[in-house]
A and B are shown apart, each in its own frame.
Chain A
Amino acid sequence: MEIYNLEKAFQDKIDKEIKIEPKDWMPEAYRKTNLRQISQHAHSEIVGMLPEGNWISRAPSLKRKVILIAKVQDEAGHGLYLYSSAETLGTSREQMIDDLHSGKAKYSSIFNYPTLTWADMGAVGWLVDGAAILNQVMLCRTSYGPYARAMVRICKEESFHQRQGFDALLVLSKGTKEQRAMCQDAINRWWWPSLMMFGPKDSESTNSDQSMKWKIKRKTNDELRQNFVDMIAEQIKLLGMTLPDPDLKWNEAKKQYDFGEINWDEFWNVVKGNGPCNKQRIAARQKAHEEGAWVRAAALAYAEKKRLRSTAKVA
């Protein structure tokens, strides 16, 4: 078949909602876009373990401690599922990790903010996971099969993450004066970065059009962001807290919330590597990887020895 026909057949499949599988023909740009997006997503899960892992040793009760550990562990699992689905596109996990460590690959900027108090565990679960889930639910229907399957698994497991976050904040909101202040402060600090998680405005997003056509994405950044604001603006009432946006108000005509302008300078600054924790996050990942090198090598060497011994026995 001519390239033109292959491309047409490919797009026909997408239009008919038939999933694309690893060995199917796909345009190189489709492969690259998926690889970029899935590996970014995997890196985000892995780097995202750090700000929360930071509080495991200090969790204020044994119940909160096991919840937090289970959640951070889930993120490791999610990173693993995603790396596996990216590997079906022909790049090894090792290569992706190298790209993360060299700064070539990106991850969600939200994880470059510090977790300063216990209330941040609640705010991250409620706002950051809440924002992530909107994106992930959409991605369960993405056109690349392995990615969609990983997302279905992830969404099933994620459902407790946002709930535990809200639950932790709810307890704080009913607690002492100091706890309520801690709760409001965490919401103030995490609100705007959460909105930034949906990416640049549609008018400035370079990847959006093609990704929509290929059904990699199925909603635009601005649509998802609006869904998020509408959801959170209602939920916060139950906490008796406020969102740090004087322009936030219900728009009866549009049946949605209006909200203020995001600080895009801050957004681009963090993307470029100048967030409060960019350097520390990558350094922590590099350290774990480098210090693990001898462990990985030993396991391989032992497996090889064992294999040789069993072949020797057979012979």
Chain B
Amino acid sequence: MPLTNNTLNYTLHLADNALILGQRNGEWCAHGPILEQDIAITNITLDLIGQARNFYQNAAACLHESGDPTASEDSLAYLRTEREFKNLLICELPNGDWAQTILRQFFFSTFQLLLFEKMKHSNNEPLVAIAEKSIKETQYHVKWSSEWVIRLGDGTTESHSRITKAVDTLWMYTGEFFIPASYEMIDVASLKNEWMNKVKEVFDEATLTLPENVFMQTGGKNGAHTEHMGFILSELQYLQRVFPGAEW
């Protein structure tokens, strides 16, 4: 596959989504609400960072072919700046409480699953391979997170009010899924209906209401992030920045 800027940017966008959400979910490790769920969300974290590595390695291979021998998964994850990261805004938001974390996972994984299923039929071989592997993981993420959305929505008064608050916080970041950036190779706008149907189905069971007429935030895909992004990268990249060129 010849490298175009679009392929590279798109691969980085997919990698950044998985890495930044993995980085956020990783904050739960050792702090979960109960041991069993601490382990569960950490499995998802490992899946996401694994996906990110696959995409970065693919991007690095593309860069090698086009004459940049220094590119690696780590140079791409650790040595780019805030404005170069192309992840969706929703991935970089703080975890909030358990309700906000699992609702974000549900929104994101539901989108990712639809995306990967489409990507599986694209003509970019490396991306097809990554999509096929990731679909299996993502199906479980959707199952796990949708069950939690239902549990919290239809659980106690407190859990219902917390997840309702999470819907208010996160909904304005869901529009970005479906507004295509110039480099996107999959028609994301076409995924919107199916995504809405799935969300509606789960929300109905969870006794939650879909918000209406919300202004959607965008920018992440093109490097215009929230103020959280710089803090995430300063932690993530700290050692590589302090000791340039060192091996770890």
What is A's interface to B at a CB cutoff of 8 Å?
Answer: 46, 49-50, 53, 56-66, 69-70, 72-73, 76-77, 79-80, 83, 118, 168, 171-172, 174-176, 178-179, 284, 287-288, 291-299, 301-302, 305
Rounded to whole angstroms, the CA-CA distance of A284 and B35 in the bound complex is 14
Q: Are B247 and A171 in contact, with the CB atoms below 8 A?
A: yes
For B78, the chain A residues whose CB sits under 8 A away are 60-61
B2 at interface (Cβ–Cβ under 8 A)? no
Q: What does DSSP make chain A's interface, helix, strand, loop or mixed? A: helix
Q: Are B159 and A58 in contact, with the CB atoms below 8 A?
A: no
Rounded to whole angstroms, the CA-CA distance of A80 and B156 in the bound complex is 26
A83 in complex: contacting residue of B35, B74, B248, CB < 8 Å = B35
B29, B154, B243 — most chain A CB neighbours (10 Å): B29
Q: Are B159 and A73 in contact, with the CB atoms below 8 A?
A: no
B125 at interface (Cβ–Cβ under 8 A)? no
Which chain B residue shows the least CB distance to A179?
Answer: B246
Rounded to whole angstroms, the CA-CA distance of A83 and B43 in the bound complex is 21
Q: Are A66 and B50 in contact, with the CB atoms below 8 A?
A: yes
A292 in complex: contacting residue of B33, B45, B238, CB < 8 Å = B33
Return A305 CB to nearest CB of chain B, in Å.
Answer: 7
Q: Are B38 and A76 in contact, with the CB atoms below 8 A?
A: yes
Q: How many A-B residue pairs have CB under 8 A?
A: 137
Q: What does DSSP make chain B's interface, helix, strand, loop or mixed? A: helix
B46 at interface (Cβ–Cβ under 8 A)? yes
Known: A288-B31, A294-B159. 5 other contacts (CB 8 A): A66-B49, A76-B38, A291-B33, A291-B97, A292-B33
Q: List 24 A-B contacts (CB under 8 A).
A: A57-B23, A57-B26, A60-B78, A62-B19, A62-B73, A62-B77, A65-B26, A69-B29, A69-B42, A76-B30, A76-B38, A76-B42, A118-B248, A171-B247, A179-B243, A284-B30, A288-B31, A288-B32, A294-B158, A295-B37, A296-B34, A297-B155, A302-B150, A302-B152
